[in-house]
Structure 1
């Protein structure tokens, strides 16, 4: 796809709110050894460099499972697992140290590269690593001695923050060290999760082999709340993603507000996820990314931006900012990442047992996804809660949609007296009514 100069400028301008929002924030970026071996990893390094240049505080946590497997095979050793956890004896530990050190060196080299005419030119990125993860042995469980397989005991928060404050990227490997001088093989999921939690990171970002988290049909789930995540942890088609899903769940339970899951195979997916409204992968948060809620005074500007084009086309009756501020409590909105993408207003006529649905609008980029239907359901519930028996609407060009929602044709004569007096015969709006049942 060829991107025009105008599209590039528009994309850059639209990314500005996210650039401002991310500056100074701490992101923990987790990826396995498979990502490091992928052909797209060099592009990911370029994107990481861009994030660093924009003032994002970055902690990178890498895995090394395929690299460990390769070295175990070269040494003629046997891979041993219990409950999907690698058993690390002394010989296997040497493979772990060799693989983790090699992967770390490879990442450091890529982040240091600054060839002319490359995206890394002039970046001058500093990468810091070391004994920043204190570990403890996993011990003996169900009679199985895990030997040098361990768990994160403590993250050196002060040490990591010192590096981040100096403008460095912190790189953590899947190894930890004990106070007795021992080395332990850790899961990179455990390291990333504990790092995100103890650093009080703003985001945990996971690079995976798919576009994000998929449902059982293979469809990308772009927005997932905690309740849905709990269900997904039990889904058979995600058995291979158990450790990743657990890392996300633990992070959310511990106060990390947002986790992202994006592809390490798709060029630009990381930047698209962080700097566009719709992203490229899955966003997992404690509450749903899109909120349907009552309007507040802070929504007036967003609603005006949404309805102004429709007012100019004559689809909606023009409302001034002053009127909208007075009537904001009548509005229900759908907010997506701080932007009002749909709205509807409801004006009850209690003495007549009915209410008016008005100002139904959806942003052009978000039509066709049942958002207007969600607003209508919320309005119907409000009407029923107020003991009303019907909803009416006046429309000039969207009659077909209201008919599809069960509205029946009516006439201005049937309107409540208070509305009948305000009816604009020159506009000649059609009247439709929907009977309600509890």
Structure 2
């Protein structure tokens, strides 16, 4: 579904009724949206019968939704796509979760391509493990992880839950909360706490705005998408991060990250002389003027800094402070580096890692052997370190 101002709006009641049948989340991405089917099993074990019933029910909902979509929306096509990588929950504290799984990753590049082609994408709440077995996933996890990997600004949560309307607060505007305010609220209401918990998790995963809409309120979704003030509950991320080119003021912070993360061998140690020499290759994420993550884009054609003639470059020194890991910051850095590489007409990227193999695979990098490295890039590979090499065309 397109969320731009020139999109014709369908009859609200009929369209939203069809939407409510099938979905829990709408994620706004560059004025486009994708839909994730509702599933609230949370921490419940899923046996084989329940799994099969859920998959059959989702197919029925998909058929109903698809019919309603084509009836009320003429400017975009909708597609059902399973782009998720799953990891079975297995046994925890003696409890076997059977066919329940966690989201391990998403094929971000493929999803972006579908959105750029103006498809509205339905993401199912189930997926296959590497062995081909279907598992059930949590829609909340799917929505947050997908929005995080796409660097989305907004996550909209649709529900018929009225609990938030009954929450009493001394705040001047209790429907417009910063992340820090949301963390302090105690509602004594299980359903309202659930909404807050989801919104806080979204903002902590680098999503700037979380919107909760009561689908039973006529016009809620349309007001949210097409008016300036929006509708419902808003939780916004009040922690300001800036992604900039590194300068001399960043050197000590980068050295601190190197010292912290090189102790266990996860990254290669670089001394101050190296950092000062290659500082212009670095990009940093700062929070309140403190560097919390960084990445470098090195030319491997020669010893000089990156130039517009470089066709191959190495992604190096990808580091996130331990307190800020698993928040999507590394994904933001890698996407920024790819954009910068394209501007410089770089056609190929190489990355070496000793422990982030799965992460690079989820970001569309392919594993190659040292023998397949281009001749000019062989010098970057240390055989004693035995890193895994990843390669990506851009």
TM-score normalised per structure 1: 0.46
| Mapping 1:39-438, distance limit 5 Å | 41-42=16-17, 56-64=31-39, 85-113=43-71, 119-120=72-73, 123-210=74-161, 213-214=164-165, 216-217=167-168, 221-232=174-185, 234-237=186-189, 239-287=190-238
Question: Which structure dedicates a bigger proportion of its chain to helix?
Answer: 1
Per-residue Cα deviation, 1:268-309 (whole angstroms, up to 9, x for no partner): 111212333433211110239xxxxxxxxxxxxxxxxxxxxx
| Unpaired segments ≥5 residues, structure 1 | 1-17, 24-37, 66-80, 114-118, 289-438
- Assess if the C-alpha contact under 8 Å between 2:46 and 2:98 holds in 1: yes
Alpha-carbon separation, structure 2, partners of 1:222 and 1:154: 32
Paired residue total: 225
SS in 1 for 2:81: coil
Alpha-carbon separation, structure 2, partners of 1:231 and 1:222: 14
| Unpaired segments ≥5 residues, structure 2 | 8-12, 240-394
C-alpha deviation, 1:256, in angstroms: 1.0
Could you tell me which residue of structure 2 aligns to residue 10 of structure 1? Answer: none
C-alpha deviation, 1:124, in angstroms: 4.7
RMSD: 3.4
Per-residue Cα deviation, 1:289-338 (whole angstroms, up to 9, x for no partner): xxxxxxxxxxxxxxxxxxxxxxxxxxxxxxxxxxxxxxxxxxxxxxxxxx
Task: Give 1 or 2 for the bigger CA radius of gyration.
Answer: 1
Per-residue Cα deviation, 1:401-429 (whole angstroms, up to 9, x for no partner): xxxxxxxxxxxxxxxxxxxxxxxxxxxxx
Change (3 A) 1:263 1:197: same
Change (3 A) 1:42 1:214: closer
C-alpha deviation, 1:213, in angstroms: 3.5
C-alpha deviation, 1:168, in angstroms: 0.4
- Assess if the C-alpha contact under 8 Å between 1:149 and 1:186 holds in 2: yes
Alpha-carbon separation, structure 1, partners of 2:227 and 2:162: 16
Per-residue Cα deviation, 1:97-144 (whole angstroms, up to 9, x for no partner): 11122222222221122xxxxx54xx0531122221111111111110
